[in-house]
Chain A
Amino acid sequence: MTALLLILIPLIGGLVTFFVKQESQAKLWSFAVSLVTLAAMSVNLLMHDEAGRSFTAEWLPMLGSSFALQMDGASTLLCFLTALCYPIIFASTWKSSYSSPNSFYGLMLLAQAGITGVFLAADGLLFYFFWELALIPVYFLCSKWGGEKRIAVTFKFFIYTFIGSLLMLVGLLYMYYQTADASFSMQSLYAVKLSGDQQSWLFWLFFIAFAVKMPVFPFHTWQPDTYEQSPTAVTMVLSALMVKMGLFAVIRWLLPLFPDAAVQYDNVVIGLSVIGMIYASILAMQQDDIKRLIAYSSIAHIGLMAAALFVNNESGLQGAMIQLFSHGVNVLGMWIVIELIERRFGTRKMSELGGLAQKAPGLTILLVIVALANVALPLTNAFIGEFLMFNGLFKFNVWYAAVGGLSIILSAIYTLRMIQKVFYGHENTLTAKGEDITWFEKASLAVIVVAIFVMGVYPKPVFELTTDTVTLILGVFK
């Protein structure tokens, strides 16, 4: 039942939000809804309620599709990430003010329902449904509340992902006709035996959809602009959660459905990912806008995860799993800091900032921890994930690991440069007026910092949680 609740609570909560008139009430209500969702998820995890992690109801029997939800290790992890991030997003953007706040918060919660649905769907058609459901609220959120160029930028993002989704739909339809029992259920789709040729082109139909969402080079061009133009709360959802949809889809659908094609094209995918890592890191170094810097750095991190998913060894897969969670937490932390800076000083340009450490020591300490986690320093969560992923990549091919490894150095360069330019150096007229963050804001960042250290020091629970998914994928390849 938890599986269903995780979708229903934000869905109904979101619909109700549209009718809440006052801004403060809309904020409070949506925050409460997100807390209830988190509570439901936490209770399920703590009680080890396995039965609650699946749900099936009749939906479209004539099409062989049912409303089937199932939480395996990877999806539990990502559902938890979603449930955890939402209250933090709402809390950290508490002071932001939006026109028609009820629509804003309503759409945010609908997006949560869609994203969670993607992580849970155990039926191909249902998965497609949620895949689109997650996209539509985000389209409206970015287009209505975003920056100056929001309409064109968001539209590009929408068209990109929509084309990808439709190609996936064609592939899904083809797969459906190959199933023994004319069904979209995950098990039936997994059981389909495809020839090498069929796998080859179906693989690409699915992969393009997922590659756009992640995004992997060269399908990434929508990402920096969209991140930059979206309101920060939405950027948080996009980068911490939505991009995980693409990676998760690879784990749940692409690899088990087309293992032969995955092996056949692993060099292409990993090659593209590694190019993307270096390319994005170099671009990140050129940025003056911190938001764009983080956007490019995110492409680099996602590229590593995408590569690790195709290395076909335990280390790479396990690393990718843990990094799915870690990246979500870390990037969210970065966005919170950016949001706080922008709200205080009205700018995100490094050239206009400087010397914040003297005025906002609390913010500085927290930012430095999050930023160092982003660089994957030992003791932080990202270290575990990146270490394992590079280990996996190394086993697959030394050259990929060597070239991809350069991104670690580049990442340190642009992150430290950003810390230096924004927080150290001399104050200017703009930053001299600044003050430290409030306790409330510190608290939301503190949650992130705790998560960073806990996972950095004791990642075992996550390993245990995702073992079943890793075993499944490795089993398919054998």
Chain B
Amino acid sequence: MNLILISAIWGIVMMFSGLFLKDKSSAKTVALIGSIALLIGNIFDLSGKMIINSNFNGMLQYERFGLLFLTILVLALIMYILLSGKEVEAVGNHPFEYFALIFFVMSGAGLVALFNNLLILFIGIEIISIPLYILTGSDKRNLKGNEAALKYFLMGSFSTGIMLMGIAFLYGATGSFQLEQLDSFQMKQLIVTPQDDYKIFMLIGIVMIMVALAFKVSAAPFHFWTPDVYDGAPTVFTSFMATIVKAAVFIGFLNLFTNAFGNKTGNWQMTVAIITALTLFIGNITAVYQQSVKRMLAYSSIAQAGFMMFAVFAINDMAKQGLLLYAAAYCFATIGIFAVLVKMKDYTFDGFNGLAKKQPLVAMVLTICLVSLAGIPLTAGFFAKYFVLAAAVKTGTYLWLVIFAVVMAAVSVYYYFRVIQAMYFKEGEGQEIAITAPFKALLVTVAAVVILLGVYPSLLLNWLTFF
């Protein structure tokens, strides 16, 4: 609860500090203070010391897993502010407001991670979404950005409608918004009763919510907005959207399916399996054909969503650990890559030619992050993929899906390694990018975290039992 409150309050603080602090560069500092406050608040959350210790009639649940997940998101946020915070100032004249929106998103993420009631999920998703529509179009003079924002808003509203309708169907079938009551609702009983309509209502409801959430995490075939929006949005916000926001919605996705529909796996698992396979296929294959690294990363984020879908598919302990690790590995690596990308003028693959000569350290960190995204051992990405795939293998079914996923992982090597090839093996001058010593130190920290989790993932996973 601390996190939800502090982030909401800090959002307002940020807005007001915009009135009083004229120096744009102080926005980053205020945001940093806020994010550290979030971290501290979250640690108190974990140890049960909350500002308001209420679960609001069971509408929230303080599961350790959700709270840990939020910790990872906050750590990723801190890293995001440290690495990219300065670039927010470059977007327009309202850095304080941009950061305020980011804090509101975090508040929504808190709700989504801890919800125990479908209405809270809905509110959480909306609190996440609305600031994003604004952030996408925050560069007012950029037509592409405006178009992206409008597109995102229209599509997003559409998916919101679908979600609301799904919730209505579920309520109609079960008479409750509470997850545990949805879970205890036995469809088998209904089969032998004349009330078969309820079963259909429930299934329609599940599918509709699945579609809406799949849209939010850009899973295929509901991914089509992603490349345009990610490409059109100011790069610094794309980084935020593709990592922290996406991970936040995934935790909601996993929570919902674990706690509300866990007893009914057979019914929706096939649909998730198809969505997963499609997401992996479309994300990876389309990424291969991209000429811009930014667009490649947009498609790569779709592909990565495919892997995270495995956690939703498997819903077991391994899946939970996997998603936790995946979120950390993916967020850190992607934020690291975007932080460098923002500083570059040329986003094409050729723009990276010869970067290793000019900036050996930056090239090395980027390589480690890219290798991690590809899921190669010694990096966090390997164990992230390992856990989600292991979770799927554990279910004992759909092994074809796992084999398909590993083949797609091999395809992903193609586009990730294109950047590495450009940096190390291709001739080029390398772009002039202004990189300060603290920025380098932060990049090295990202790389160190990625490798540390790649060699010893228990560091993170032990948390699950530690607190």
Interface residue ranges, A against B (CB under 8 Å): 59-62, 128-129, 132-133, 136, 140, 143-144, 150-151, 155, 158-159, 162-163, 166-167, 169-170, 173-174, 176-177
The residues of B that contact A174 with a CB separation of less than 8 Å are 393, 399
The residues of B that contact A60 with a CB separation of less than 8 Å are 456-458
B286 at the interface (CB under 8 A from A): no
* Other-chain residue from A61, A143, A155, A167 in contact with B424 (beta carbon distance below 8 A): A143
Q: Are A132 and B413 in contact (CB under 8 A)?
A: no
Known contacts A60-B458, A158-B413, A159-B413; A151/B407 CB under 8 A: no
* Other-chain residue from A62, A169, A170, A176 in contact with B458 (beta carbon distance below 8 A): A62
Chain A contact residues: over half helix, strand or loop, or mixed? helix
Sampled A-B contacts (17; CB under 8 Å): A59-B456, A132-B378, A136-B371, A144-B424, A150-B425, A158-B417, A159-B414, A163-B406, A166-B406, A166-B407, A166-B410, A169-B389, A169-B406, A170-B403, A174-B393, A174-B399, A177-B393
B187 at the interface (CB under 8 A from A): no
B394 at the interface (CB under 8 A from A): yes
The residues of B that contact A61 with a CB separation of less than 8 Å are 458
Q: Are A133 and B399 in contact (CB under 8 A)?
A: no
Q: Are B424 and A162 in contact (CB under 8 A)?
A: no
* Other-chain residue from A129, A158, A167, A173 in contact with B377 (beta carbon distance below 8 A): A129
Distance in angstroms between the alpha carbons of A158 and B457 in the assembled complex: 25
The residues of B that contact A155 with a CB separation of less than 8 Å are 414, 417, 421
Within 8 A of A (CB), among B433-467: 456-458, 461-462
A72–chain B nearest beta-carbon distance, Å: 24
Known contacts A144-B425, A150-B425, A173-B393; A162/B378 CB under 8 A: no
B255–chain A nearest beta-carbon distance, Å: 22
* Other-chain residue from B394, B399, B409 in contact with A166 (beta carbon distance below 8 A): B409
Interface bin, chain B: 20 to 34
Interface residue ranges, B against A (CB under 8 Å): 371, 376-378, 382, 386, 389-390, 393-394, 396, 399, 402-403, 406-407, 409-410, 413-414, 417, 421, 424-426, 456-458, 461-462
Known contacts A143-B425, A158-B413, A162-B410; A167/B403 CB under 8 A: yes
Q: Are A177 and B394 in contact (CB under 8 A)?
A: yes
The residues of A that contact B382 with a CB separation of less than 8 Å are 132
- Apart from A62-B461, A162-B413: 11 A-B pairs, beta carbons within 8 A: A60-B457, A133-B377, A133-B378, A155-B414, A159-B414, A162-B376, A169-B389, A170-B406, A173-B402, A174-B393, A176-B390
Q: Are A136 and B376 in contact (CB under 8 A)?
A: yes
Distance in angstroms between the alpha carbons of A59 and B399 in the assembled complex: 28
The residues of B that contact A159 with a CB separation of less than 8 Å are 410, 413-414
The residues of B that contact A132 with a CB separation of less than 8 Å are 376-378, 382
Distance in angstroms between the alpha carbons of A133 and B457 in the assembled complex: 17
Q: Are A128 and B413 in contact (CB under 8 A)?
A: no
A122–chain B nearest beta-carbon distance, Å: 17
Known contacts A133-B377, A150-B425; A169/B386 CB under 8 A: yes
B203–chain A nearest beta-carbon distance, Å: 30
The residues of A that contact B426 with a CB separation of less than 8 Å are 151
Distance in angstroms between the alpha carbons of A62 and B377 in the assembled complex: 18
The residues of B that contact A166 with a CB separation of less than 8 Å are 406-407, 409-410
B79–chain A nearest beta-carbon distance, Å: 25
Known contacts A143-B424, A144-B424, A158-B417; A167/B458 CB under 8 A: no
Distance in angstroms between the alpha carbons of A266 and B386 in the assembled complex: 31
B284–chain A nearest beta-carbon distance, Å: 13
The residues of A that contact B377 with a CB separation of less than 8 Å are 128-129, 132-133
Distance in angstroms between the alpha carbons of A59 and B424 in the assembled complex: 33
B452–chain A nearest beta-carbon distance, Å: 13
Distance in angstroms between the alpha carbons of A177 and B376 in the assembled complex: 22
Distance in angstroms between the alpha carbons of A80 and B400 in the assembled complex: 40
B318–chain A nearest beta-carbon distance, Å: 10
Q: What are the 8 tightest A-B residue pairs by CB atom distance, in nearest-first order? A: A166-B406, A132-B377, A163-B410, A173-B393, A129-B377, A143-B425, A151-B425, A162-B410
* Other-chain residue from A59, A62, A129, A163 in contact with B378 (beta carbon distance below 8 A): A129
B162–chain A nearest beta-carbon distance, Å: 35
B402–chain A nearest beta-carbon distance, Å: 5
Q: Are B410 and A173 in contact (CB under 8 A)?
A: no
Known contacts A163-B407, A170-B403; A151/B421 CB under 8 A: yes
B259–chain A nearest beta-carbon distance, Å: 23
A221–chain B nearest beta-carbon distance, Å: 16
Distance in angstroms between the alpha carbons of A162 and B421 in the assembled complex: 17
The residues of B that contact A162 with a CB separation of less than 8 Å are 376, 410, 413
Distance in angstroms between the alpha carbons of A140 and B399 in the assembled complex: 33
The residues of B that contact A158 with a CB separation of less than 8 Å are 413, 417
Q: Are A140 and B461 in contact (CB under 8 A)?
A: no
The residues of B that contact A151 with a CB separation of less than 8 Å are 421, 425-426
B119–chain A nearest beta-carbon distance, Å: 36
Known contacts A159-B410, A162-B413; A170/B457 CB under 8 A: no
Distance in angstroms between the alpha carbons of A96 and B272 in the assembled complex: 55
Distance in angstroms between the alpha carbons of A155 and B410 in the assembled complex: 11
* Other-chain residue from B378, B410, B414, B424 in contact with A140 (beta carbon distance below 8 A): B424
